[in-house]
Structure 1
Amino acid sequence: MGIHDWARAALGQSLEAAKRDGFSEGLALRALLSAVVERSAKLRPADDLAQELTFLAENLDPERDYSFMRP
């Protein structure tokens, strides 16, 4: 299992726990994202973290074509 598979499994478990506690998935995801960003800010410079978050936000569309991709 790779680190991304591990992260997806951990996220799934957290969302199941949130659901059992009566929280919606959307609310739980927003809270988890905030907690991850807060924790990451203790380990990484703010500008580095901001660049990664910006990259992730700009690349949310799985249907988007990129200039560096070939057909």
Structure 2
Amino acid sequence: MSVYEWARQELRNSLVSAQEAGFEPGLSLRALLSAVVQQSKTVRNAEDLADELQFLAENLDDGEDYSFMRP
């Protein structure tokens, strides 16, 4: 199992737990994202973290064809 597969599994488990506690999925995801960013600041510098978040935000559209992905 890769670390990314592990993370997706942990996220699914967390969302199930949040739903069982009565939390809405959107709110739960926002809270998890906030917690991940806060924790990430303890092991990464702010500029590096901001760059990664900006890259992720700019590439949210699954249907977009990005030039760097073409062979």
With the shorter chain as reference, the TM-score category is: over 0.9
- What is the alpha-carbon distance in structure 1 between the residues aligned to residue 69 and residue 42 of structure 2? 35
Give me the TM-score of the superposition, normalised by structure 2: 0.94
- What is the alpha-carbon distance in structure 2 between the residues aligned to residue 18 and residue 70 of structure 1? 39
Q: Which has the higher helix share?
A: 2
> Please, which runs of 5 or more residues in structure 1 have no aligned partner?
none
Cα drift, residue 30 of structure 1: 0.1
Aligned length: 71
- Give 1:48's aligned residue: 48
CA deviations on 1:21-40 (whole Å, 9 max, x unpaired) are: 00000000000000000000
Runs of 4+ in 1 over 6 A off after TM superposition: none
- What is the alpha-carbon distance in structure 2 between the residues aligned to residue 27 and residue 36 of structure 1? 14
**What is the RMSD of the two structures over their aligned residues, measured on CA atoms?**
1.1
Give the residue type in structure 1 aligned to 2:69: M
> Please, which runs of 5 or more residues in structure 2 have no aligned partner?
none
